[in-house]
Structure 1
Amino acid sequence: MFYLIGIGLGDAKDITVKGLEVVKSSKRVYLEAYTSILTVGKEALESFYGREVILADRDMVEQASDELMEGADTEDISFLVVGDPLGATTHTDLILRAVEKNIPYFVIHNASIMNAIGCCGLQLYNYGETVSIVFWTEDWQPESFYDKILVNRERGMHTLCLLDIKMKEQTIENLMKGRPIYEPPRFLSASQAAQQLLDIVERRDKDQKTDADLTPSSICVAVARVGASDQKISTATLKEMAALDMGPPLHSMVIPGHMHPLEKQMLRLFAASDQVKNDLASEDER
Structure 2
Amino acid sequence: MRYECSWRVDVQKLPCLILVGLGLHDECGLTLRGLKSARDADHIFIETYTNYMPDMSFSNLSNILGKEPIKLIRKDLEEDSGRILEYAKKSKVAVLVPGDPLIATTHVQLAVEAKKLGIEVAVVPGVSILSAAISQSGLQSYKFGKSVTLPFARGRQFFETPFEVVRENKAKGLHTLMYLDVDCEGRSMSIGEALALIMNWEETERKGVFLPSTLVVGLARIGSDHPVVKAGSIEELRTYPFGPPPHILIFPGRLHFMEREALRYLAGASEESLESISWAKK
Q: Please say whether Structure 1 and Structure 2 have the same fold, judged by a TM-score greater than 0.5.
A: yes
Superposition map of 1:141-180 within 5 A? 141-166=158-183, 169=184
Matches within 5 A, 1:87-236: 87-117=103-133, 118-166=135-183, 169=184, 183=185, 185-205=186-206, 209=208, 213-236=209-232
- Tell me: CA distance 1:239–1:71, structure 2 relative to 1, closer, same or farther (3 Å): same
In the other structure, the counterpart of 1:266 is 262
Deviation at 1:33, TM superposition (A): 2.2
SS of match in other structure, 2:18: strand
Equivalent position of 1:246 in the other structure: 242
- CA distance in 1: counterparts of 2:176 and 2:280, whole angstroms: 25
SS of alignment partner, residue 234 of structure 1: strand
Flag structure 2 segments of 5+ consecutive residues without an equivalent.
Answer: 1-15
Are residues 245 and 136 of structure 1, via their aligned partners in 2, closer, same or farther at CA, if it must alter by over 3 Å? farther
**C-alpha deviation, 1:141, in angstroms:** 2.1
Q: Deviations over 1:232-264 (max 9, x none)?
A: 111121122222231111110000000111111
SS at 1:72 equivalent: helix
Take 2:92 and 2:120, find their aligned partners in 1: how far apart are those partners? 10
Q: Unaligned 5+ residue runs, structure 1?
A: 170-182
Distance 1:47 1:225 in 2: 24
TM-score (norm 1): 0.86
Separation in 2, partners of 1:273, 1:34: 36
Deviation at 1:8, TM superposition (A): 0.8
- Which residue identity does 1:248 align to in structure 2? P
- Partner SS, residue 96 of structure 1: helix
Q: By how many angstroms is 1:275 displaced?
A: 3.9
SS in 2 for 1:257: coil
Structure 1 position 205, deviation (Å)? 3.5
CA drift at 1:271 = 2.4
Find the aligned partners of 2:174 and 2:280 in 1 and give their Cα distance.
Answer: 22
Alignment CA distance shift 1:259-1:278 (3 Å): closer
Q: Which residue does the alignment assign to 2:4?
A: none
- CA separation in 2, counterparts of 1:27 and 1:193? 43
Distance across 2 between alignment mates of 1:82 and 1:233: 21
Alpha-carbon RMSD across the aligned residues, in angstroms, is: 2.2
1:46-92 CA deviation, whole Å, 9 max, x = no partner?
A: 23222202221111111111111222133211111111001111111
For the residues of structure 1 that align with 2:235 and 2:60, how far apart are their CA atoms? Answer: 38
Structure 2 residue aligned with 1:40, among 40, 55, 64? 55
The corresponding residue for 1:177 is: none
Does structure 1 conserve the Cα–Cα contact (< 8 Å) formed by 2:41 and 2:94?
A: yes
Q: Percent identity?
A: 29
Name the CA distance, whole Å, in 2 between partners of 1:8 and 1:108: 11
1:144 counterpart SS class:
helix
SS where residue 73 of structure 1 aligns? helix
Q: Does 1:12 align with 2:9?
A: no
Q: Which has the larger displacement, 246-255 or 266-275?
A: 266-275
Residues 275, 80 of structure 1: alpha-carbon distance in 2 compared, 3 angstrom cutoff: same
Find the aligned partners of 1:140 and 1:125 in 2 and give their Cα distance. Answer: 33
SS at match of 1:236: strand
Q: Distance in 1 between matches of 2:84 and 2:244?
A: 31
May I ask how many residue pairs the two structures share in their alignment?
263
